[in-house]
Each structure stands twice: as C-alpha cells, then as structure tokens.
C-alpha cells in the first residue's frame, strides 16, 4: 500500500479535520496580517491568493470576498508572473466556497471549474490545489463535478497523479475521498 492509499484508508472524521484546520490557523493568521499590512500592487499580487484563502478559512468572509474581487482587478494590471496561477485559482476558489456556503451549488461548480482552469503555479504544480470546494461538492452529491475537477487539475498537477488515482477509485466505489493533505 502506498502513502496515498494509506492516507485514504480510514474515513476522515470531524475531529481529524478540526485537527488539520487547527494546525493551519497560525499560518492563516499570518497571511491575513501580511495582507492587511501590504499596500503596494506587486506585494499585494504576491500575498493576496493565500490571504484570501486564509480569510475564508478563518471565517472572515467579507475580507475573503473583498480580496477575491481585488484579484480580478490585479489580474488586469499586473503582468503574468509565477503567482498568476495562484491568483486565478484562489480567486475562484473563494468565490466558489462562498457560493457553496450560500447553497448555490451551480455557482459553486462554475467557480470550481474556473479555478481548475488555471495555468498552474510552482505551488499548485508541486503540492496541488486545495480540495475543500471539490470535496464539499462531492459530499453534496456532485460526483461528476468532482471527477471533472480532477481531470482538469491533472493537467498542471503532474505530481498529484497518485492522489488523483486513489480519489477516482474511491469515488468509483461510492466512497468520499478524505483529501486529507489538501483540504486546509
């Protein structure tokens, strides 16, 4: 059994998910603080994807939405750089999470699709995308959206093929993947 299969062996409990989240809280708080103290366009472009995600994860929904909206403007005026794919991914991820939370699954799927259409980035290409929105949709019965997302991210997340294979197999068996390493 490989690492990915081992991580997916037992179902993800709420306690385990809470533990994973708690371990990330200091990093989320740091990202939000950095963003609040950043004013230059280039600096904001570098900080904003993680800060928007962090704000959402901390329940700071107005800031998460504001920063996701700001990313739309930054994309237009900041040239493409190493962080461009992160901006595209997390802008749409935040909008998708907010749509999901409001019960609009169609809008959440739309933003999930836009997030997955990113060109990738050093981080996304190596460590993979945050799977929280895709997993939430799967738990809500949207297996087709989940599987399509896996197909889309496979284009840039080549290192993730073992994860993607295990997750596809679990869905084929009627199970919900944990996505443990990718939900925070």
- For residue 117, CA distances in Å to 24, 122, 143 come to 26, 15, 18
**98 pLDDT higher than 90:** yes
User: CATH for 13-182?
Assistant: 1.25.40
Q: How confident is the model at residue 80 (pLDDT cuts 50, 70, 90)?
A: confident
Domain positions in the chain = 13-182
**3 pLDDT higher than 80:** yes
pLDDT (tens digit per residue) in 127-169: 999 999 999 999 999 999 999 999 999 999 999 999 999 999 9
Q: Cβ–Cβ contacts within 10 Å for residue 170, how many?
A: 17
**79 pLDDT higher than 80:** no
- For residue 174, CA distances in Å to 52, 105, 109, 164, 170 come to 33, 20, 20, 15, 6
- For residue 140, CA distances in Å to 95, 103, 109, 122, 130 come to 18, 10, 11, 31, 17
pTM of the predicted protein model:
0.95
3-state secondary structure of 117: coil
């Amino acid at each position: 059994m490989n690492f990915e299969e081992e991580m997916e062996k037992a179902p993800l409990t709420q306690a385990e998910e809470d533990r994973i989240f708690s371990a990330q809280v200091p990093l989320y708080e740091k990202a939000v603080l950095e963003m609040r103290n950043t004013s230059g366009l280039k600096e904001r472009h570098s900080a904003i994807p993680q800060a928007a995600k962090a704000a959402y994860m901390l329940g700071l929904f107005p800031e998460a939405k504001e920063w996701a909206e700001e990313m739309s403007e930054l994309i237009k005026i900041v040239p493409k750089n190493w962080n461009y794919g992160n901006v595209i991914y997390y802008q749409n991820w935040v909008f998708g999470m907010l749509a999901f939370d409001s019960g609009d699954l169609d809008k959440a799927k739309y933003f999930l699709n836009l997030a997955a259409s990113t060109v990738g980035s050093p981080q996304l290409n190596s460590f993979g995308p945050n799977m929280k929105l895709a997993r939430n949709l799967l738990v809500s019965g949207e297996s087709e959206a989940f599987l399509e997302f896996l197909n889309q991210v496979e284009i840039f997340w080549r290192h993730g093929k073992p994860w993607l294979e295990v997750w596809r197999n679990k869905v084929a068996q009627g199970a919900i993947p944990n996505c443990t390493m990718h939900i925070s």
